[in-house]
Amino acid sequence: MVVFRVTNPRYLNVPNVITLGRVILVPIVFWLLLTGETKLAFFVFLLAGVSDAVDGFIAKRFGLTTELGAYLDPLADKLLLVSVFVALGVMGALPSWLVIAVVSRDILIVIGVMLSWVLDHPMRIQPLAVSKANTAAQIFLAATVLADEGFRLGLGDVRFLLVWITGALTVASLAAYLRAWLRHMSG
């Protein structure tokens, strides 16, 4: 029997372990999509979404929020979304321009944060309303496409609309973060 000992509960607690489980699901979902197992990928994606809600609830309800969790949770979400978008792009289920926009936005935000640290002018990223809307649109689009691909629901028109909404929100979110970064870096 394996017994895990938590030597520093500030870092390794139940919500953070759940989040780490979500990180482990990322390559599984990616592999399932690339091997054509879209139904199973849909259910694993849903499991990841439920785990995100559960770890957040437990952390807030029982006062188990940690600095590690504050970084790990959004990182797990981004890893999952980016991997799903890339896999769906490779499959031809999402347009390449949208996959490039989504991935590029995240890379540019990370580069901006890293540059601010390197230039000794660190910036805390606060989620903006447009960014929250963008993330919600990405999640909804990914779930819709996974369900449509897995269960052949005939959601072509809905997917088309969601692609354009997600694209617009991705560009708007990047513009908002760029504006905030330029304002921060200029003083």
In whole angstroms, what is the distance from residue 181 CA to residue 45 CA?
Answer: 32
- Domains, the chain, ranges and CATH? 14-185 (1.20.120.1760)
Whether residue 88 contacts residue 145, with contact meaning beta carbons closer than 8 Å, is answered with yes
Q: How far apart are CA 110 and CA 92, in angstroms?
A: 27
> In this structure, what DSSP letter does residue 9 have?
T
Tens of pLDDT, residues 119-142: 999 988 788 999 999 999 999 999
Structure tokens at 168: 């617009």
Model pLDDT, residue 10: 63
The CA distance from 120 to 128, in Å, is 23
Which two tokens mark 133?
Answer: 């809307």
pLDDT band at 6 (very low <50, low <70, confident <90, very high): very low
- The reply to whether the predicted model has a pTM over 0.85 is yes
Q: Which of 22-31, 63-72, 132-141 has the lowest mean pLDDT?
A: 63-72
Amino acid present at 59: A
Question: pLDDT digit string (tens) for 143-170?
Answer: 999 999 999 999 999 999 999 999 999 9
Confidence of residue 9 (pLDDT cuts 50, 70, 90): low
What pLDDT was estimated at residue 187? Answer: 79
- Judged against a pLDDT cut of 80, whether residue 4 lies above it is answered with no
